[in-house]
Structure 1
Amino acid sequence: MPRGMGWGRGRGRRRKMRMIGFIPQVRHFYPAQPPVFQPKPPIFMTYEEFEALRLVDYEGLTQEEAGQRMGVSRGTVWRALTSARKKVAQMLVEGRELIILPGGNEVPRGADE
């Protein structure tokens, strides 16, 4: 199976398809004022990370409930959530762009029916 079609980095266990309930309409965030210093490269967040952040922090679900909605384990939600929170913090503290992109293994909820 080619890269980006459900496999990780070419080795190891096959990655599960993640169910995404909300595709963000706004996918690019940037500082209102250009930085005075040398700009840093943008931060990229996957739909999976965005969905974990949305379900747990915005909708108030537990990580277990979010995992059930996404079709993954609680541990996978924890990893995605930790990564997403770090990226949002970096964006705010460092004044960097944040771009939300598909990660290759997300499926909008209802698309598999």
Structure 2
Amino acid sequence: MSPRPKKIRHCQCKFCGRAFKPTGTPLAELEQVHLYQDELEALRLCDSEGLTQEEAGQRMGVSRGTIQRIITLARKKTATALTEGQALIFVNEDEPA
């Protein structure tokens, strides 16, 4: 039995294809952490715009629980990349990582 299909997530961020990395080190030499578009959107809505998880879920067309799971993973990835000097790569969900 195949897994349940993903619900479409409405994202306004158009930052994909870019990277955030430490200066002075070529991207090819860094370990890369992929931050997907929905994860970046959840961070933007909750942390930058100050929306509650419920409000962010309504904007993205998903449940509050889904937003909570997405934002927890996004915060972990971001913290790991920043503290360990890794590159944070912004990608679309449908692009190969």
TM-score (ref. length: structure 2) = 0.85
TM superposition outliers: structure 1 runs of 4+ over 2 Å:
none
2:64 aligned with 1:64, yes or no?
no
Higher gyration radius (CA): 1
CA separation in 2, counterparts of 1:12 and 1:79? 18
CA separation in 2, counterparts of 1:26 and 1:58? 21
TM-score (ref. length: structure 1) = 0.74
The 1:25–1:103 alpha-carbon spacing in structure 2 relative to 1, beyond 3 Å, is closer
The 1:54–1:65 alpha-carbon spacing in structure 2 relative to 1, beyond 3 Å, is same
Identify the residue that residue 4 of structure 1 maps to in structure 2: none
2:34 aligned with 1:49, yes or no?
no
**Greater helix content:** 2
Runs of 5+ unmatched residues, structure 1: 1-9, 105-113
Contact 2:17 2:89 in 1 (8 A): no
Identify the residue that residue 8 of structure 2 maps to in structure 1: 17
SS at 1:12 equivalent: coil
The 1:25–1:102 alpha-carbon spacing in structure 2 relative to 1, beyond 3 Å, is closer
Q: Percent identity?
A: 48
Contact 2:16 2:90 in 1 (8 A): no
The residue identity in structure 2 corresponding to 1:79 is R
CA separation in 1, counterparts of 2:30 and 2:24? 14
CA deviation after TM superposition for structure 1 residue 40, in Å: 4.9
The 1:93–1:24 alpha-carbon spacing in structure 2 relative to 1, beyond 3 Å, is same
Identify the residue that residue 81 of structure 1 maps to in structure 2: 71
